[in-house]
Each structure stands twice: as C-alpha cells, then as structure tokens.
Structure 1
C-alpha cells in the first residue's frame, strides 16, 4: 500500500535506537525526509547509516537533549515545518515512593509531558495552515494499566494523553491528527534490561527470564520494532486521516479490558 506520505518532512524524537529508530526507519522507507534526534552524536550517525542502507534515504540528524529548551530549539531549527511529528523520550526508572523526591517528579514531567507538549505546540499551527499534519506520541501501555512502580512514567504520560485528546478536537478538521502508540513487550534494549533485572531479582538465567517475558504476552512472543514502526507509519499516512485521538496498543493482544 502506498501510504501517500512520500516527500513529507518527518521529525522523530529520541530516534537513534529502539522504538524511535523503528518509526524513523519505517517513515524513511515510505519516502519521508526524516530528521533523527538523540543525545549521542556517534549513535545518531550509526542510526543514519543504517537507515540509509535499508532505504536509500539519508536522514538528517540532530544531537540534542529534548528535556531542555535549547535542545528543542535546535531540533526545530533543523526541521522547522514538519508534516509529521513523532514524540518519544526515555521513561524514568521504576521505583518506590521513597525514591521519588520533588526533583524526580519534575524530571519525569519535563521528559514525558512538557517536552512533547512544547514540540507539539511549536509545530501544530503550521500543520493546520498547510492542512496536513500527523502527530504520534509514543507513550506506554501503563497509561491504561497503571503499575505503582512505574508511577513517574504513568503520571506524566497520562497527562500527555489528556493534552493530545483535547487538542485533536480542534486540529482534526484541518487534517491534523494526533494519536498515541502504547507499546508493551516490544523486543528492544528495554526488554533486555528488564530481563536482566528479572535475573537479579529471581536468581534465574537470562534465557529463563526471556521465556517468562514471552509468557506474559498473549501472542506468546515479543513484538518486533519493525512491527511497531509500521504501525506508526500507518497512523502518519494519508489513509489514516479519519483516525484521531486514539490510543493504539501494540502489545500482542495482552490488554485484557474491553475498552
């Protein structure tokens, strides 16, 4: 299927690895002019090389910290009028109430609520004027199924979800859609990190931890970054213009509730 976005400008945050890189790769494959972002210039260069090898399109790359105004300004200077914005950022570490002081809460809100809100606010009016825009926020399954140990992430990302839902009511009439992708059990470095944590906590091998991870998924396997990236590309497509304000769970059928 031709997604109708060849030549569109796509800004993909935190895209030097993992889910962000998967989304950037999928959009480049569809013919978008992609701008990558990350904090590590070396890793960004490797990501750009990989996308070029796979798609024949060399993305631009901006080393910048999205948690700072300077970093966001640098990114917007490199891609001032994107047609597609994919917001993404690393989530805070799991913890307990004793771990979460005032600064920890502020850091979580800055990274997972305010940084994407500022970026969306900077580009959405231009999208509306041009009468095309696709905004996809990579959030988390915990937005719908909160876990206390992930409260920093849950609280910030749920705030972003509410902001996006309200804003899209105003923008969708101008063909600017805003949707959220809720990943769970996607086989990235994060899953390997969680497997190593499980090894430590339960005294089991890495292979046993990975087996336990797959048993948590109704599909009985972990999802691939490629599958996640394709879901993002579709939400950014011309065909998805009537889909807005939605939370798409990419979790192998693991969410048990009806709504």
Structure 2
C-alpha cells in the first residue's frame, strides 16, 4: 500500500533504539524525511546511518532530551515543517509506589505527559494550517491493564491519553489526527533489561524467564519493533484520516478484555 507520505517531514522522539527506531524506519521507508532523536550521540548516529542505508531516505539525527524546552526546539527546528509527530520517551523504572518522592513523580509526569503535550503544542497549528497532520503517541499497555510497580508510568500516560482525546476532536476537521499506540511486550533493550533484573531477583536463567513470559502471551511470542513500526506508519499515513482519538493496543492478545 502506498501510504501517501512521500516528501513529508516526520519527527520521531526517542528513536535511536527499540520501538521508536521501528517507527522511524517504517516512516523513512514510506518516503518521509525523518528526524531521529536520542541522547547518546554515538548510538544515534549509528542508527541514522543504518536507517538511511536501508531505506535511502534522508535521516536527520538530533541529540536532544525531549523533556526539555531546548531539546524540543532543536527537534522542531531541524525541518522546515512538521507533518508527522511520534511522541515517545522512556518510562520510569519498575518501583513500588511508596518509594516515589515528589521529584520522582514530577519527573515521571514531565517525561510521559507534559513533554508530549508540549511537543503537540509546538506543531499542531502548522498542521491545521496545511490541512495535514498525524500525531501518534507511544504509551503502554499498562494504560489499559495497570501493572504493579509501573504506577507512575501508567498514570502519566493515561493522563496524556485523556488530555489529547479532547484535543483530537478539535482538529479532526482539518485532517489532523491524534492517536495512541499501546505496546505490550516487545523484544527491545528495555524488555531484556527487565529480564536481567528478574534474573538477579529470582536466580533463574534468562531463557527460563523469557519462556515463562512468552507463554503468558496468547500469541506465544514477543512483538518485533518493525511490526510495531508498520502500525505506526499506517496511523501516520494519508489513508488513516478517519481514525482519531483512538488507542490501539498491540500486545499479542495479552490484555484479557473485549474493549
């Protein structure tokens, strides 16, 4: 399918690794100029070279912390206009809610709710004026099925979802859409680090821990970043203009609900 994105400019936040990289790769493959973002310059440049070599697209690496005003300005200023924004950021680590101090709470809400909203504020008026815009927020399956220990992440991302659900309806008539993607367990560096932490706690092998976790997913496996990226690219496409204000759960059937 031709996604109708040739010549569009896309920003994908936190995209040097994992799901962000998967989204950036598929948008590049669809013909976008992609602003790639991370905080580790060496990793970012290696990823940019790999995606450019694979897709032939123009990839603009920008070292920036998206949770800061300076970082946001650097990202938005890297291209003449922003047609597509994929909001993404690492979430707070697994931690008992009793151990969260005020600074921890503020950092979690800033990174996973406030910063994405600020990015939307920076780009949405231009999208409305040009009558094309696609905003996709990578949140988490924990928004629908809370996970103990990820309470701060769940709460901040749920807040982002609720905030932008209303905004989505105000711009839909100008061909600007806002949606969320809710990933479950994907085979990324973060998932692997969780398994390594579990290995230390449980004194079991990584293979045993991986097998047990995969067995709890109806699909019987972990997701791959490239299939997540393809879903993102469709929501960013010119063909998806009638989909807005929605949260698409991508978790291999792990959430046991109908809606």
Aligned partners of 2:217, 2:226: CA distance in 1, in Å?
17
Aligned partners of 2:191, 2:107: CA distance in 1, in Å?
23
1:202 aligns with 2:180: no
Structure 2: which 5+ residue stretches go unaligned?
Answer: none
RMSD of the alignment, in Å?
0.9
Aligned partners of 1:137, 1:80: CA distance in 2, in Å?
22
Find the counterpart in structure 2 of residue 61 from structure 1: 61
1:209-228 correspondence runs (5 A): 209-228=209-228
SS of 2:239's partner is helix
Structure 1: which 5+ residue stretches go unaligned?
Answer: none
Deviations 1:101-122 (A, max 9, x none): 0000000011000110000011
SS of 1:3's partner is coil
| TM-score using structure 2 length | 0.98
Higher mean C-alpha deviation, range 24-33 or range 208-217: 208-217
Find the counterpart in structure 1 of residue 29 from structure 2: 29
Aligned partners of 1:125, 1:87: CA distance in 2, in Å?
17
1:161 aligns with 2:183: no
- Cα offset, 1:79, TM superposition: 2.8
Find the counterpart in structure 1 of residue 91 from structure 2: 91
Q: Are 1:182 and 1:247, in contact at CA under 8 Å, matched by a contact in 2?
A: yes
Q: Are 1:48 and 1:58, in contact at CA under 8 Å, matched by a contact in 2?
A: no
Aligned partners of 2:178, 2:51: CA distance in 1, in Å?
25
Find the counterpart in structure 2 of residue 76 from structure 1: 76
Q: Are 2:97 and 2:152, in contact at CA under 8 Å, matched by a contact in 1?
A: no
Deviations 1:219-247 (A, max 9, x none): 00111001000000000111111001111
- Cα offset, 1:80, TM superposition: 5.2
- Cα offset, 1:148, TM superposition: 2.9
- Cα offset, 1:195, TM superposition: 1.3
Find the counterpart in structure 1 of residue 128 from structure 2: 128
Q: Are 2:97 and 2:151, in contact at CA under 8 Å, matched by a contact in 1?
A: no
Find the counterpart in structure 2 of residue 247 from structure 1: 247
Aligned partners of 1:43, 1:79: CA distance in 2, in Å?
21
Find the counterpart in structure 1 of residue 257 from structure 2: 257
Deviations 1:139-197 (A, max 9, x none): 00000111231011011101100111010010111000000000011111111111112
Find the counterpart in structure 2 of residue 182 from structure 1: 182
| TM-score using structure 1 length | 0.98
SS of 2:150's partner is helix
Number of residue pairs the alignment of both structures matches: 259
